[in-house]
Chains A and B, each alone.
Chain A
Amino acid sequence: AQSVSQHNHHVILSEAASLELGCNYSYGGTVNLFWYVQYPGQHLQLLLKYFSGDPLVKGIKGFEAEFIKSKFSFNLRKPSVQWSDTAEYFCAVSGNTPLVFGKGTRLSVIA
């Protein structure tokens, strides 16, 4: 069965700080990885996804993630966060079943 772990429950950063959110997955087969963002009171939106090829994936709004197969990880990064990045971030994995989500990481960006 697929599972996803997000280690950070709540991250608080100042504007312009760099961000890295951890995500580890467990799945024995070919894996597809996603990061979704949920802004306060809104639905989930896709930030980026990895299926194959270059393990460094660039998404919207300056986010990127790196797939490291040996570590079963897909960490999300952004060099400089903005107040508008305040949101809940979900890592998800899909193999032969629908998306399985991690428990989410709440990011609070303060001025």
Chain B
Amino acid sequence: DTAVSQTPKYLVTQMGNDKSIKCEQNLGHDTMYWYKQDSKKFLKIMFSYNNKELIINETVPNRFSPKSPDKAHLNLHINSLELGDSAVYFCASSQQLSGTAEAFFGQGTRLTVV
């Protein structure tokens, strides 16, 4: 069983479109995250959710809207896609928001905006 799974693995779309990436974790964790990895492999946190509530939004454009229907799911919807949104997006989860909690990562979604 995959602990953190996200779909799709690859997403190619045109500028201006709206797209969603889904994420599910079966670890029973309370906290989930979205990270963005750019072309230089730099990983930056976008959002943190704890018990379905948004905790952290790291200066991400409001075209990005996370949604957590329950503790096990954290989806990412992106409106009006731009070329600069091309990146690999990783979902992750952990038992708690910070401190000693190890984060478990999904396989990533490679988004290419053309």
* Chain A residues at the B interface, C-beta cutoff of 8 Å: 32, 34, 36, 38, 42-46, 49, 51, 88, 90, 94-101, 103-104, 106
Q: Is the CB of A104 within 8 A of B42?
A: yes
Q: Is the CB of B107 within 8 A of A42?
A: yes
Q: In the complex, which residues of chain B have a beta carbon less than 8 angstroms from the beta carbon of A98?
A: 31, 33, 45, 48, 56, 94, 97-98, 103
Sampled A-B contacts (19; CB under 8 Å): A32-B100, A36-B105, A38-B41, A43-B107, A44-B92, A44-B105, A46-B102, A49-B100, A94-B98, A95-B99, A97-B98, A98-B31, A98-B56, A98-B97, A98-B98, A98-B103, A99-B103, A101-B44, A103-B40
Please indicate which of the listed interface residues B43, B56, B90 has the most CB atoms of chain A within 10 Å of its own CB.
B43
| Closest beta carbon of chain A to B26's beta carbon, Å | 15
Q: Is the CB of A51 within 8 A of B100?
A: yes
| Closest beta carbon of chain A to B34's beta carbon, Å | 11
Chain A interface mostly: strand
Q: Is the CB of B45 within 8 A of A99?
A: yes
Q: Is the CB of A104 within 8 A of B98?
A: no
Q: Is the CB of B45 within 8 A of A100?
A: yes
Given A43-B90, A43-B106, A98-B56, A103-B100 contact (CB < 8 Å): no
Q: In the complex, which residues of chain B have a beta carbon less than 8 angstroms from the beta carbon of A88?
A: 41
| Closest beta carbon of chain B to A29's beta carbon, Å | 10
Q: Which of B41, B45, B94, B106 contacts A104 (CB 8 A)?
A: B41
Closest residue on chain B to residue A45 by CB atoms: B105
The yes or no answer to B66 lying at the interface (CB within 8 A) is no
A96–B97 Cα distance when bound, in Å, is 8
Q: In the complex, which residues of chain A have a beta carbon less than 8 angstroms from the beta carbon of B105?
A: 36, 43-45
